[in-house]
């Protein structure tokens, strides 16, 4: 393995896509679970299989999916990021404030994304060079970033519209990012999710960076001995997570053009981690795929949508999502011990 890691070589194509491996993959089980859930909901409800509802599910899962893609890289690298909800809020609100201050759209977007990258960089440095466990480092950053957002906004809501100072053309373009439809049918949020997921799949499956993330998560010691700069790989994974959380926050504010630092993105990190683990990413690192993450996001999104259509209480919905998290983590730990 060390020689393969050092050379940056990838696994042979015939091994990657063999039928036996496909049938053994956890994604197959997640796909079956998703299909069973869809069949049940199509029977139990009248409106589940309508095109309007399916597109609505696609829009609803998009922001969660974008962040789950970033979390996939972090978890595969053997770390975890609990600050994504706060990053989502801070970067989205920062972008909104720049827009109502009269900035053009692209500079405002760049400013929001840079704040996400900076938060990811701090998380990465704390988890590597400072040697804090990522669970503790990002838990602390969760409060730090949320507090910074409250200070930045003075605890007041941020609303993006022309009356608040946004340029008309900028407000319209920003609104289209979150509320618009491609060809009048497909939500723009879903389009962004599909593009990001496709790029992430290529990066994780076909680039040296993706292979190094897998190698670092599988065995940091072996990867280090093979010449891989483990700390740099982990820091880049955190930066990617920060940028994607920031982008999701920007799209969230574009969809509902008003947010408040104390509430926006609150508890979002739990759904992101849950979707990624349900999709097969391991808390121990070294395992996970973009396809699995997409399926995990769909499981969470379809379940929430189905429970709403069935008239289930929001309190029961939270209970059931919690059970899904427990079961997913239990399966992850059980399969890890069995493999060992």
> How far is 91 from 113, CA to CA, in rounded Å?
7
Question: What is the distance between the alpha carbons of residues 193 and 105, in angstroms, rounded to a whole number?
Answer: 20
In the chain, where are the structural domains located?
27-37+44-339
**DSSP-assigned letter for residue 258:** E
Inform me whether the pLDDT recorded for 13 exceeds 80. Answer: no
Distances from the Cα of 108 to the Cα of 93, 191, 333, angstroms: 11, 21, 43
Lowest mean pLDDT segment, chosen from 15-24, 94-103, 110-119, 221-230: 15-24
Q: Which residue is listed with tokens 């730090």?
A: 144
Q: Which pLDDT tens digit goes with each residue over 33-64? A: 889 889 999 998 888 888 899 999 999 999 99
| Per-residue model confidence (pLDDT) at position 332 | 60
Beta bridge partners of 258: 159
The number of residues in the chain equals 340
Tens digits of residue pLDDT in 159-208: 999 999 999 999 999 999 999 999 889 999 999 999 999 999 999 999 99
**Cα distance between residue 49 and residue 17, in whole Å:** 31
Asked whether the beta carbons of 302 and 34 are under 8 A apart, the reply is yes
pLDDT of residue 89 exceeding 50, the answer is yes
Task: Give the C-alpha separation, 104 to 85, whole Å.
Answer: 26
Within 13 Å and on the Cβ side, how many CA atoms surround 149?
35
Q: CATH for 27-37+44-339?
A: 1.10.3470
pLDDT band at 247 (very low <50, low <70, confident <90, very high): very high
Given the DSSP bridges, would you call strands 158-159 and 258-259 parallel, antiparallel or unpaired?
A: antiparallel
| pLDDT value at residue 29 | 77
| 155, 24 contact by CB (below 8 A) | no
Q: Is the pLDDT of residue 297 over 70?
A: yes
- Distances, alpha carbon 209 to alpha carbons 8, 36, 151, 203, 333, in Å: 9, 35, 37, 7, 26
């Amino acid at each position: 393995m060390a020689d393969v890691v050092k050379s940056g070589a990838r696994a042979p194509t015939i091994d990657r896509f063999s039928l036996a491996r496909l049938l053994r993959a956890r994604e197959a089980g997640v796909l079956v679970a998703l299909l069973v859930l869809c069949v049940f909901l199509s029977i139990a409800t009248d409106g589940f299989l309508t095109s309007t509802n399916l597109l609505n599910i696609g829009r609803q899962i998009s922001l969660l999916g974008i962040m789950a893609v970033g979390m996939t890289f972090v978890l595969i690298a053997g770390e975890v990021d609990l600050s994504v909800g706060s990053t989502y809020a801070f970067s989205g609100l920062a972008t909104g404030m720049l827009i109502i201050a009269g900035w053009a759209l692209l500079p405002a977007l760049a400013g929001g994304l840079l704040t996400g990258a900076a938060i990811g960089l701090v998380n990465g440095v704390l988890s590597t060079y400072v040697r804090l466990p990522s669970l503790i480092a990002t838990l602390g950053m969760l409060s730090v970033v949320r507090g910074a957002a409250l200070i930045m906004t003075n605890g007041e809501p941020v609303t993006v519209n022309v009356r608040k100072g946004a340029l008309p053309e900028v407000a319209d373009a920003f609104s289209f990012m979150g509320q618009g439809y491609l060809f009048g049918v497909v939500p723009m949020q879903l389009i962004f999710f599909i593009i990001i997921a496709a790029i992430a799949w290529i990066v994780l499956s076909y680039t040296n960076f993706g292979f190094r993330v897998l190698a670092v998560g599988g065995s940091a010691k072996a990867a280090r001995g093979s010449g891989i700069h483990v700390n740099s790989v982990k820091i880049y994974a955190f930066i990617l997570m920060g940028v994607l959380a920031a982008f999701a926050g920007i799209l969230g504010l574009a969809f509902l053009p008003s947010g408040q630092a104390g509430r926006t993105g609150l508890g979002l990190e739990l759904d992101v981690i849950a979707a990624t683990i349900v999709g097969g990413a391991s808390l121990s690192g070294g395992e996970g795929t973009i396809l699995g993450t997409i399926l995990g996001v769909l499981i969470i999104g379809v379940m929430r949508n189905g429970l709403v259509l069935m008239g289930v209480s929001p309190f029961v919905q939270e209970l059931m999502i919690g059970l899904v998290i427990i079961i997913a983590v239990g399966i992850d730990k059980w399969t890890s011990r069995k493999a060992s």
